[in-house]
Amino acid sequence: MALKQFKPYTKSSRSTILIDRSGLWKGKPYKPLTATNKPVKGRNNLGRITSRNHGGGHKQKYRIIDFYRKKFDVAGSVERIEYDPNRSCHIMLINFDDGEKAYYLAPQKIKVGDKIQNGPNSEIKVGNTLPLKDIPVGIDIHNVEIQPGAGGKIARAAGAHVTISGSDGNYSIIKMTSGEIRKIDSRSLATIGHKSFGENRLQETTEKWTDLDREMAQLHFIGALQSKKVKELIQIFNVIETLDTESSARKLSTLKSQNFKIPKIFIQINIGEETQKRGVLPSNFSDFLNMCKEKYNLNIDGAMCMPPAGKNPRTRSSRKFPEGSA
């Protein structure tokens, strides 16, 4: 579910965040997975009026969401993402390989056509559902069961997620967004949320992430890149986002010639030209990019830019970057 933010032209627009519904399904919901949502019109279970001046409201079809996700080891694909008037988050229609369909809660990074799967043998991937004991520490999850088989009860609203912070015997330790810590049976199911994580210190990363956890997550290095630590970094991180010196580029080229696997590389650009920040100046970006590609034979996947607070990076960078440099 994408979010829209606005430029602070007014006090109210400074903190306004709305849901972007541009990519949602425009048609009607999948009829076999809907039910009539009869309005109560201010009456109780005996039919007596308990709250006056309540009308029937707009007609709504209730979407039957599968919070249990018990269809194990059968792959499915996201057919479409829909708006649901009965809840704050979007939902996705899953088309399984055996022909069945189901409505699931849609995590933020899911896209139409993505493959998902449920069960303990599933990959650690956004949208997949696994028992808590099979999910690495540090992964964001949602639709978490309190008891095994009871269906997801925790983190079902838009933007809601919890984090696995550890384990204690047969229980997993869950950290809520409020800071509350809960212990939940490790056999309970949960759905994977974010998979990519940024780290800026090599030593802390090696202490925090086990070898197995690093294989299941995407680690991005966003700290200051030192040439003497490049060899260790490329064996741990999947992406290096802060290449900004020739010495580091030379070291990466040497390791590449020695048949080391080089992760994705992004050039860090100091688009604000701030003296306290590292990064290649926009005016030097084209020369630095050509040097990395031609002299050191490096594959550059993109650029990492962080604008100064309160500045629009587009108006500044459009004047500084030479044409054809990207």
Residue 59, pLDDT above cutoff 70: yes
Q: Is the pLDDT of residue 4 over 90?
A: no
* pLDDT tier for residue 207 given thresholds of 50, 70 and 90: confident
- The stretch 128-149 carries a mean pLDDT of 90
pLDDT digits (tens, 9 = 90+) for 304-322: 887 776 665 445 444 444 4
* pTM (predicted TM-score): 0.61
Most confident of 82-91, 190-199, 304-313: 82-91
Query: Looking at residue 317, what is its pLDDT?
Result: 43
Mean pLDDT of 119-124: 89
Bridging pattern class, strands 264-269 and 300-305: parallel
Q: Residues 324, 325, 326, CA angle at the centre, nearest 5°?
A: 95
pLDDT in tens, 167-177: 888 999 998 88
Distance between start and end Cα atoms, the chain: 29
Domain residue spans of the chain: 129-192, 196-320
**Rounded distance between C-alpha atoms, residue 132 and residue 154, angstroms:** 13
Residue 49 pLDDT greater than 80, yes or no: yes
Q: How confident is the model at residue 326 (pLDDT cuts 50, 70, 90)?
A: very low
pLDDT confidence of 323, banded at 50, 70, 90?
very low
CATH code for the part of the protein at 196-320: 3.20.20.10
Stretch (H or E) spanning 114: none
Mean pLDDT of 75-90: 91
Distance, CA of 31 to CA of 296 (rounded, Å):
58
Using alpha carbons only, what angle is made at residue 22 by residues 116 and 13, rounded to the nearest 5 degrees? 120
Is 209's pLDDT higher than 80?
no
User: Whole-number mean pLDDT of the chain?
Assistant: 84
pLDDT level of residue 195 (50, 70, 90 thresholds): low
Find the mean pLDDT for residues 136-158.
90
Radius of gyration (C-alpha) of the chain in whole angstroms:
24
Considering only residues 301 and 323, tell me which one the structure prediction assigns the higher pLDDT.
301
Question: Regarding the domain delimited by 129-192, which CATH topology (the fold level of the hierarchy) does it fall under?
Answer: SH3 type barrels. (2.30.30)
Residue with tokens 């933020």: 108
Q: Does residue 102 carry a pLDDT above 60?
A: yes
User: For the chain, what percent of residues have pLDDT higher than 70?
Assistant: 88
Q: Which whole number is the average pLDDT over 125-150? A: 90
φ, ψ of residue 83 to 5 degrees: the values are -85, 140
